[in-house]
Amino acid sequence: MLTGRSAIGGAFSPPRKSASIQHQSVASSSTDTHFSDLLTWAAGHLKENLSVEVLADRSGMSVRSFTRKFRAAVGLPPAAAIEKMRFEEASGSCPGGNLPLKRVATICGFRDEQTLRRAFHRIAEVSPSEFRQRFS
């Protein structure tokens, strides 16, 4: 098991396969069903623009109110929660996978390969290639 720190401060655990299951690690920290429903929706739309403005609009709130309430309910800023969901999706594609990182980045909604690499370093404290070696 990888012992890096996760985005929510806990130990990183190996990847899970299904996006619908993966979002639960972020959504389960929310007791607010509105945000839980929003995160469920976001898990199915990771390739799309999930900016704070888009999420706030979908929630019917101003950006400022949304950000404040989301952080209070979920325990993470909206951008960090979305990045963690995308990371979990990408980490499920990496072990034993032969997809180029550029393709994994596109599939999981990262802007580019470098953004994917930074997310791996920030969340799992390893590069995607090292992650593949450890979990393949």
The per-residue pLDDT for 92 is 83
Helix, strand, coil shares of the chain, percent, nearest 5, are 60, 0, 40
The pLDDT tens digits for 46-65 are: 999 999 999 999 999 999 99
Q: Supply the pTM of this predicted model.
A: 0.76
Give the pLDDT band (50/70/90) at residue 96: low
The pLDDT tens digits for 98-130 are: 788 899 999 999 999 999 999 999 999 999 989
In three-state secondary structure terms, 5 is strand
**What's the mean pLDDT when you consider all of the chain?**
81
CA distance between the termini of the chain? 12
Q: Helix axis angle, 113-123 relative to 101-108, nearest 10°?
A: 80
* Strands in 1-136 per DSSP E: none
